[in-house]
Each structure stands twice: as structure tokens, then as C-alpha cells.
């Protein structure tokens, strides 16, 4: 059986359209949703991700305000930028592109953000709310994976989902989200300490590869009919390509596509979903801020606003 190829671009386009409609409604209220994008250094992959995010923001009628800092920027200076963005009412979301230069403590920077503006969902408060089922922004890539599964009608209730990779950005949050009651999957996480990942993936109804290792998932590791979601984005040197590299996922695409029930391509699978979910988070952050302001203009709104600041 050949797998159904999941068109991440098409699903993402639907989400981007929703973001655009909601942004236009805010614009009519005099609020233009704005994401501050902070980039330290010149990592080529980060530069291209940031460019893609800014293009998508513009396409959805939102502002992307870029803050470019040199690779040698001090941590205190970067924290100063975050504090200023926290205080700036025209900024609704803050995104600090990762990885940061190695002399900067990522945790300190992420924790300095106002969780109300943490549209990446990386702040400890956001992560806590995600795990506990509270309000807060969901991280974009894991949320995008969930939406892809839902939109493709891939059954998750009682399914065994095997995640490869335990990063803070993808593997760990995916495990929390997939095991939520409304998704109801049974989750296994494989990582570099797992002796034989194939033992687990062969049993999986859903495989999510997020390890950053090209070719990690071979056809022999996949059960017939399984859904295979490839989060890997690996730049592999290729002198025949204009860019000098090509993008490969973590999945041995051709052979696995012969066996799986569903598969996401790289590029064009999960990647576009990450950007689309970011747009939805930015518009939601702007809606929350606009509603807090308009609510504060009524008596009950003033009480609610005061309570929020207790
Ligand atoms: N680096 C790789 N993925 C991401 C992401 O989703 N957000 C940020 N801020 N940095 C990243």
C-alpha cells in the first residue's frame, strides 16, 4: 500500500487564512497584531526560518518587527531587549529564534519573557499550563502536528504514538499533548539512550520522528499502514543543488512511503504548520491584549483588569 502524502502546505494555508481573517477583525478595531522577532547571530538556518516567519506575518496582515543582534551580544543586553519588548504595548508576541549563541543562557532569556507574549510556548509558565491543561500558548510545531493528525482524520484515540527525540521544542511537548484525554494516545518516547528504537516503532500506529538524524526511520521500523510524521529538517550537503545542500527529514522517505498509511514530506509537511500555528498564536495574543484594554473601559472590565493585576 502506498501512503497518503499529507499536504502540510494545504492544511497550513487554511490555518493562515483563519489568522488573516482574525487579524483583519483586529485591524478594524485599530489594533495591528505585531510579533517582535529577536535574532542573535547569523546562523543560516535561523536566518531562513526568520525570513519565512516574517513573510507569513506580512501575508496575514500582521507586523513582524525584527531585532537583529550580533552573535557576540551580551546576555544582559539581550535581556534588556526582552524587557523593553515586554513593556511595549504595540508588541503582542515575542519570538527569540533558537539556538542562541552558546555564551547566552537560553533558559534565562526565555524566562524573562512575559508569558502573555510567549507565542512560542517555551516559557516555563506556558509549559506548565500545557501540561496541566491551563490557558496559554501551545508550542507551534507540536501543535501543528496535532492539527495535521486531526485534519487528516488519523485516529489517535487508543493509538500507540512513538516519538523519536526528547527536545524541549518538539519531543517533550508532543508527549504531553498526545496523552491529553481528548487526544488519548498512548505515548512512548525514544531518545539517544533507547537501545533498540525499532522495537517500539514497529508497534506504533503513529511515528513522530523529531531526532534530527536523516534516515533514522527505515521501512523495516514501520508497521504497515502506520502514520509517519517527519519533523526532521536536516541540511545535507549536495553540490548538484544551487544552495549547496538539500533538506532531508529523519525518515527514509521513498521506502517508508511504500509501507505507511500516511506520511509527511520534507519540505512541505510539518514545516508550514509551524509557521501557521505561530500566526494563530500571534493573533490570539493581540486579541487578548485588545480585549483586556476594551474590557478595562467598562466597570466590570475595570474590576477584571484590576483582578488580573492582583
Ligand atoms: N528554532 C527551531 N525551531 C524554533 C521555534 O519553533 N521557535 C524558535 N523561537 N526557535 C526555533
Q: Confirm whether 55 is a catalytic residue.
A: no
For residues 120 and 139, the answer to whether their CB atoms sit within 8 Å is: yes
Q: Per-residue pLDDT tens for 197-243?
A: 999 999 999 999 999 999 999 999 999 999 999 999 999 999 999 99
Q: What is the 86 CA–ligand 1 centroid distance (Å)? A: 19
Quote the pLDDT of residue 86: 98
Q: Exposure string (b/e) for 163-175, b if CB count within 10 Å is 16 or more?
A: bbbbbebbbbbbb
Closest CA to 166 of 182, 143, 188, 148: 188
Which residue's CA is minimally distant from atom 2 of ligand 1? 98
Rounded distance, CA 251 to CA 254, Å?
9
Q: Confirm whether 252 is a catalytic residue.
A: no
For residues 213 and 225, the answer to whether their CB atoms sit within 8 Å is: no
Does the Cβ of 170 fall within 6 Å of ligand 1? no
CA 51 to chain CA mean position, Å: 16
Quote the pLDDT of residue 306: 55
Q: Could you tell me which residues are beta bridge partners of residue 94? A: 36
Q: What is the 140 CA–ligand 1 centroid distance (Å)? A: 9
Closest ligand 1 atom to residue 95 Cα is 9
Strand, helix or coil at 289?
helix
Quote the pLDDT of residue 301: 54
Strand, helix or coil at 223?
coil
Which residue's CA is minimally distant from atom 8 of ligand 1? 97
Quote the pLDDT of residue 308: 52
Does the Cβ of 96 fall within 6 Å of ligand 1? yes
Does the Cβ of 189 fall within 6 Å of ligand 1? no
For residues 94 and 86, the answer to whether their CB atoms sit within 8 Å is: yes
Query: What is the enclosing helix (H) or strand (E) of 259?
Result: helix 253-259
Does the Cβ of 95 fall within 6 Å of ligand 1? yes
C-alpha cell belonging to residue 7: 499536504
Catalytic residue chosen out of the listed positions 118, 120, 230, 252:
120
List of domains in the chain: 31-114 (3.40.50.10860), 140-270 (3.40.50.720)
C-alpha cell belonging to residue 272: 508550514
Neighbours of 294 (CB within 10 A): 12
- Over its length of 310 residues, how does the chain's per-residue pLDDT go in tens digits? 799 999 999 999 999 999 999 999 999 999 999 999 999 999 999 999 999 999 999 999 999 999 999 999 999 999 999 999 999 999 999 999 999 999 999 999 999 999 999 999 999 999 999 999 999 999 999 999 999 999 999 999 999 999 999 999 999 999 999 999 999 999 999 999 999 999 999 999 999 999 999 999 999 999 999 999 999 999 999 999 999 999 999 999 999 999 999 999 999 999 999 999 999 999 999 999 999 988 776 655 555 555 555 5
Neighbours of 148 (CB within 10 A): 23
Closest ligand 1 atom to residue 46 Cα is 1
Rounded distance, CA 293 to CA 3, Å?
49
Does the Cβ of 38 fall within 6 Å of ligand 1? no
Quote the pLDDT of residue 41: 97
- Cα angle value 44/48/51 (rounded, 5°): 140
Neighbours of 227 (CB within 10 A): 26
Pocket test for ligand 1, best of 53, 54, 169 (most atoms within 8 A of CB): 169
For residues 144 and 119, the answer to whether their CB atoms sit within 8 Å is: no
- The number of CA neighbours under 13 Å toward the Cβ of 310 is 6
Pocket test for ligand 1, best of 49, 94, 99 (most atoms within 8 A of CB): 49
For residues 49 and 235, the answer to whether their CB atoms sit within 8 Å is: no
Closest CA to 113 of 103, 104, 125: 125
Quote the pLDDT of residue 295: 78
Quote the pLDDT of residue 305: 53
Does the Cβ of 281 fall within 6 Å of ligand 1? no
Pocket test for ligand 1, best of 45, 85, 98, 210 (most atoms within 8 A of CB): 98
Quote the pLDDT of residue 293: 86
Quote the pLDDT of residue 220: 98
Q: Confirm whether 250 is a catalytic residue.
A: no
For residues 123 and 115, the answer to whether their CB atoms sit within 8 Å is: yes
Does the Cβ of 201 fall within 6 Å of ligand 1? no
Quote the pLDDT of residue 115: 98
With cell 509551524, the residue in question is 274
Quote the pLDDT of residue 303: 56
Query: What is the enclosing helix (H) or strand (E) of 240?
Result: none
Amino acid at each position: 500500500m502506498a501512503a497518503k502524502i499529507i499536504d502540510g502546505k494545504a492544511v497550513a494555508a487554511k490555518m493562515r487564512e483563519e489568522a488573516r481573517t482574525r487579524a483583519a477583525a483586529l485591524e478594524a478595531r485599530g489594533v495591528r497584531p505585531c510579533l517582535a522577532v529577536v535574532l542573535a547571530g547569523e546562523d543560516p538556518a535561523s536566518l531562513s526560518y526568520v525570513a519565512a516567519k516574517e513573510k507569513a506575518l506580512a501575508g496575514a496582515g500582521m507586523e513582524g518587527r525584527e531585532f537583529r543582534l550580533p552573535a557576540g551580544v551580551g546576555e544582559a543586553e539581550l535581556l534588556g531587549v526582552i524587557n523593553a519588548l515586554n513593556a511595549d504595548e504595540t508588541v503582542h508576541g515575542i519570538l527569540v529564534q533558537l539556538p542562541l549563541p552558546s555564551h547566552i543562557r537560553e533558559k534565562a532569556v526565555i524566562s524573562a519573557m512575559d508569558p502573555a507574549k510567549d507565542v512560542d510556548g517555551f516559557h516555563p509558565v506556558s509549559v506548565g499550563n500545557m501540561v496541566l491543561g491551563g490557558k496559554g500558548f501551545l508550542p507551534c510545531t507540536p501543535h501543528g502536528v496535532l492539527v495535521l493528525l486531526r485534519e487528516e482524520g488519523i485516529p489517535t484515540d487508543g493509538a500507540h504514538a512513538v516519538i523519536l527525540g526528547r527536545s524541549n521544542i518538539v519531543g517533550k511537548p508532543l508527549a504531553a499533548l498526545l496523552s491529553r484525554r481528548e487526544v488519548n494516545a498512548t505515548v512512548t518516547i525514544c531518545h539517544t539512550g533507547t537501545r533498540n528504537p525499532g522495537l517500539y516503532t514497529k508497534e506504533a500506529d503513529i511515528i513522530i520522528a523529531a531526532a534530527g538524524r536523516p534516515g533514522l526511520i527505515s521501512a523495516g521500523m514501520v508497521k504497515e499502514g502506520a502514520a509517519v510524521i517527519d519533523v526532521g529538517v536536516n541540511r545535507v550537503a549536495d553540490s548538484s543543488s544551487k544552495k549547496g545542500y538539500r533538506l532531508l527529514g529523519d525518515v527514509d522517505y521513498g521506502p517508508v512511503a511504500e509501507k505507511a498509511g500516511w506520511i509527511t514530506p520534507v519540505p512541505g509537511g510539518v514545516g508550514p504548520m509551524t509557521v501557521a500555528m505561530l500566526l494563530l498564536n500571534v493573533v490570539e495574543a493581540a486579541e487578548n491584549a485588545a480585549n483586556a484594554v476594551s474590557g478595562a473601559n467598562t466597570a466590570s472590565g475595570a474590576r477584571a483588569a484590576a483582578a488580573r493585576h492582583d
